[in-house]
Amino acid sequence: MRSDNGPQYDSAEFSHFAKEWGFKHVTSSPRFPQSNGEVERGVRTVKNLLQKAEDPAKGLLAYRSTPLACKFSPAQLLMGRKLRNSVPMFHTELNPHWPDLEKLHARESESKLKQQSNFNLRHKATPLTPLEPGTEVHVRNLDRPGVVVKAAETPCSYEVKTPISTVRRNRVHLTPMPEQRENQPVPAEDKIAAPVQADQPKLKMNSQAAPATPLLANRPKRLLKPSLKVRENLGLI
């Protein structure tokens, strides 16, 4: 089960319920609703449906009995049969008939991978590099520095220790700090001796290879011809 970090899902009672019924509960990254986009889009669809429908029950019935892009309605995917609604249908259409879920899952996975590749290609999106424990980062939404403690159990999330507390944030919120170079002191003898030794052979090469006349003197000069208006003003015409 995948959800956000609401208090109804973050409580000890819900954790005990998940352990008792044997399912895994995964939460999205805090302050990053895009990681839970499928649920957010479903909530938006139901909200629009309830606002526009005169009868909420009929609106929900129409939504549950309408075929999706996979050619099956939500009721067929959940219960294995169609629902009777206001659209006339033959009685045999109401007989239970489960779709081939294995082929359906494979087709849906292939479609999602294709959409992901097209989106990444269109927006030139690339995966972010993983962060190692101890990396100094800047937490964007908190606008304060922090240090990565470890990778969280949830995908693409890290536990970061800030000056105030330890928080869990998505990789998008974490910007690695630039590496600080250590300024090592250079002895005074090296500062004086190194340039002299390095410049001596260069001076010899330059003195031997320097020509007697500069090369720029042999270049043809550009002929500047005054315009017609200038010649008229000077009385040359």
Q: Which two tokens stand for residue 196?
A: 């002299």
pLDDT > 70: percent of the chain: 82
Cβ burial, residue 118 (10 Å; 0-12/13-18/19+): exposed
pLDDT at 218: 64
- Where does the pLDDT of residue 155 fall: very low under 50, low under 70, confident under 90, or very high at 90 and above? confident
Angle at 206 between CA 202 and CA 207, to 5 degrees: 115
Of residues 195 and 78, the one with the higher pLDDT is 78
pLDDT at 189: 41
Exposure string of 71-86, with b = 16+ CB inside 10 Å and e = fewer, is ebbebbeeeeebeeee
pLDDT at 46 > cutoff 70: yes
- Where does the pLDDT of residue 220 fall: very low under 50, low under 70, confident under 90, or very high at 90 and above? low
- Where does the pLDDT of residue 108 fall: very low under 50, low under 70, confident under 90, or very high at 90 and above? very high
Bridge partners of residue 176, in order along the sequence: 137
User: The domain 1-52 belongs to what CATH superfamily?
Assistant: Ribonuclease H-like superfamily/Ribonuclease H (3.30.420.10)
What's the whole-model pTM score? Answer: 0.57
